[in-house]
């Protein structure tokens, strides 16, 4: 087994339990948070979603990890793009072929059926080592992926990587990427084709978004010239207690926007919690707007009209 460079004590990670588990479930099984971090470093454990961890459960993933260790051992090549995203634990990415490998411009290109080769000179500050694999750091990984995506999809991915774990959801650890790391990686790619769109995506990314639909709605508001909302802010009462935590909030006009996903907000218990939340918002002088999938039609036109009417009712004037 390859040991991460920073693991000087060369400690073997604990065997990962079968299936997917939240952090508190792993702790109940006798794990410590240090065990989880070590297993993530070795890639014997991966983040399969926000706050959910699972073992490399397939033979394909295990073979992919072994192949990556061999291919990057020379110090010239690095795992990149979706392969790096999977190793970094970005939700939605799996360690399966084709494996993306980036080689120096002046070096040899890897030619294998399971490998998608890229050529680029990756500076050392954009490289890290996890599980014995050299790979691009989160900022560089995001830039590599964003260069091949639309503006909206690039922002959605940035929001996902910037999102800190939510303890109330049983999530622990740190965000995959930091804002300053993302911006520094963008600047190191000056001159790349499409970098202006990527730089704009970095400017539009925000910490705290819980779902792609929240990001899509926020971007639709930006395109429509509406005031920028805060993302998942904590709204306090006079005693300093958290009373509301809406998906989006326009503080100046006391408008709280909630995107209601059908799969979550249609549950009876959740419906009751949503009604109580709306009552708290009203008592504090906030106007809660419920946005659903129906409001996302025609590039969010129904949702934007609803938000615009509420803003006008609160005194906002179109610029």
Q: Which H or E run includes 103?
A: strand 99-103
Which pairs from 59-63 meet CB under 8 Å and 24+ separation?
60/96, 60/97, 61/94, 61/95, 61/96
Q: What is the pLDDT of residue 201?
A: 98
> Looking at the whole model, is its pTM more than 0.85?
no
Three-class SS state of 118: strand
pLDDT tens per residue, range 19-66? 567 778 788 888 888 888 878 777 677 776 566 677 665 677 878 888
Q: How far apart are CA 124 and CA 144, in angstroms?
A: 16
Q: How far apart are CA 162 and CA 179, in angstroms?
A: 7
Q: What is the pLDDT of residue 46?
A: 73
19 secondary structure, DSSP code: S
Q: What is the pLDDT of residue 50?
A: 63
Residues of the chain with pLDDT under 50: 1-10, 264-265
As given in the structure block, the two tokens for residue 71 are 């291919």
The secondary structure of 266-290 as a DSSP string is TSHHHHHHHHHHHHHHHHTT-EEEE
Q: What is the pLDDT of residue 174?
A: 85
Q: How far apart are CA 32 and CA 29, in angstroms?
A: 9
Q: What is the pLDDT of residue 148?
A: 96
């Amino acid at each position: 087994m390859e040991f991460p460079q920073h693991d000087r004590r060369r400690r073997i990670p604990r065997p990962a339990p079968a299936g997917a588990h939240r952090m508190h479930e792993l702790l109940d099984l006798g794990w410590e948070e240090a065990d989880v971090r070590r297993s993530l470093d070795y890639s014997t454990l991966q983040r399969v979603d926000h706050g959910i961890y699972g073992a490399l459960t397939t033979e394909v993933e295990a073979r992919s990890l072994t192949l990556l260790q061999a291919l990057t051992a020379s110090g010239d090549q690095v795992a990149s793009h979706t392969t790096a995203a999977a190793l970094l634990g970005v939700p939605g990415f799996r360690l399966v072929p084709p494996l993306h490998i980036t080689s120096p411009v002046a070096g040899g290109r890897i030619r294998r059926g399971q490998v998608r080769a890229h050529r680029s000179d990756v500076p050392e500050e954009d490289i890290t080592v996890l599980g014995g694999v050299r790979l691009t750091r989160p900022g560089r990984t995001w830039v590599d992926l964003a260069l091949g995506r639309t503006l909206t999809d690039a922002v959605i991915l940035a929001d996902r990587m910037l999102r800190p774990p939510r303890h109330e959801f049983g999530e622990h650890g740190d965000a995959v990427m930091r804002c300053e790391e993302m911006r520094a990686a963008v600047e190191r790619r000056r001159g790349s084709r499409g970098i202006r769109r990527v730089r704009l995506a970095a400017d539009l990314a925000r910490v705290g978004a819980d779902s792609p639909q929240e990001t899509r709605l926020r971007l639709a508001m930006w395109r429509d010239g509406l005031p920028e909302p805060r993302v998942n802010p904590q709204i306090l009462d006079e005693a300093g207690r958290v009373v509301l935590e809406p998906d989006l909030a326009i503080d100046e006009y006391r408008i709280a926007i909630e995107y209601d996903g059908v799969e979550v907000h249609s549950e009876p218990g959740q419906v009751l919690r949503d009604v109580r939340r709306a009552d708290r918002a009203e008592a504090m002088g906030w106007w809660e707007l419920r946005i659903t999938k129906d409001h996302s039609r025609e590039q969010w036109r129904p949702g934007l009209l609803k938000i615009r009417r509420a803003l006008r009712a609160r005194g906002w004037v179109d610029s």
